[in-house]
Amino acid sequence: MANGLFWLIAALIAYIYVGYPVLVFLLSFVSRRKTEAADCEPEVSLIITAYNEERAIREKLENTLALNYPPEKLQIIVASDGSTDRTDEIVESFPAELVRLLRVEGRVGKTEAQNQAVRQARGAIILFSDAATLYSKDVIRKLVRNYASRDVGAVSGRYEYVNPNGSAIGFCSALIWRYENWLKRSLSRIGTLTGCCGCIYSIRRELYRPLPRDVSEDFVQALSVIAQGYRVIFEPEALAFEPAMDKPGDEFNRRVRSFTRGIRGILYMRALLNPFVYPFVAFELISHKTLRWLTAPLCATLLCCNLFLLDSDFFRAVFACEVLFLATGIAGVVLVGTRGRSGRLLSLPTYFVVVLSALAVAITRVASAKRYTTWEPSR
């Protein structure tokens, strides 16, 4: 029984990380859905959500004001979620006719802060951003041109991590996001994305729906657009940049929050998991989200199965590789914590250990009804 279970789980993990992306890539050549694009200048409301971002908010606003888009058609709103530093003061130092500060009291969290900011938005298109994210100059034009297709309800841009300190965590984060961008491009060609990048995504104003505070807003808002009969697509030429995190602890905390809110989000929108009603969407959600979130218990079960198969040379060798990989990852976490960085050799195992640990904690917290509504800046 242990032998059969081992190979079943191994095949499932192989499907998650190899089979699914290969299948999506092949489908993108067989089934392509055309998206019309045309230059246009609709009124856009750009909402920046911030909490204690005094180190980043000035550069962010200067970057936003320098974007290649008519100022009279761009409304900039900074939703400050109960900031206690100089964030509000810095925002108010900019001309009020260019930048509007929306002070949200009570530390309500990013999702609720966005809910309140959208009520103040006048644009036909809403664009969401973070305070630490910088945009390429023509990002708005690249995003809004896709709304020439009436079936497009939301557009996600391309997010890139920069890793100026050369950290192991930063290296893998940048690598993972390149993979995610490649996958988004393929999924967009086939039909629709089932999630957006939270620091660079846009939506038609009339399709926005207020969401519960404890769900991942970029993920669930995209699913809401799909449920209303519209597509979510990827615009690779709309670029956003952000420094990657250096420390495993910061990445772990970010991942726990992201995974917890994501799992709650898919439970909130579970109707889209029905393959008879939403065949392609259910395929995406199950393959790219649900199964990936189960990687931690799957890997733990695989290791346990391997313990019952040590009478075979093959399985002893596999077990040794598993233990070596985990030990290397743990060593990488320790080295980063004590010396500030680790070599590229430890990058992948280190990142793997951080992500698996975060997944395990997230699953536990969802099961115990632990909720995340607020966030802290990590830089």
- Residue of 161, 324, 346 whose CA lies nearest to 244: 161
Tens-place pLDDT, residues 11-21: 999 999 999 99
Q: How confident is the model at residue 336 (pLDDT cuts 50, 70, 90)?
A: low
Q: What's the count of helices (H) and strands (E) in the chain, helices before strands?
A: 14, 8
Tens-place pLDDT, residues 121-133: 999 999 999 999 9
Q: How confident is the model at residue 338 (pLDDT cuts 50, 70, 90)?
A: very low
CATH of 44-248+269-278, one of 3.40.50.970, 3.90.550.10, 3.40.640.10, 1.20.1440.20: 3.90.550.10
| Whole-number Å distance between alpha carbons of 19 and 287 | 10
**CA-to-CA dists, residue 64 to 157, 176, 303, 337, angstroms:** 15, 26, 49, 35
**CA-to-CA dists, residue 287 to 24, 48, 250, 256, angstroms:** 10, 31, 27, 20
What are the backbone dihedrals phi and psi of residue 96, each rounded to the nearest 5 degrees, phi first? -65, -30
- Give the DSSP letter of residue 103: E
| Whole-number Å distance between alpha carbons of 349 and 174 | 15
For residues 337 and 58, the model is more confident at 58
Report CA 185 to chain centroid distance, whole Å: 15
pTM for this model (two decimals): 0.92
Per-residue pLDDT, 13: 95
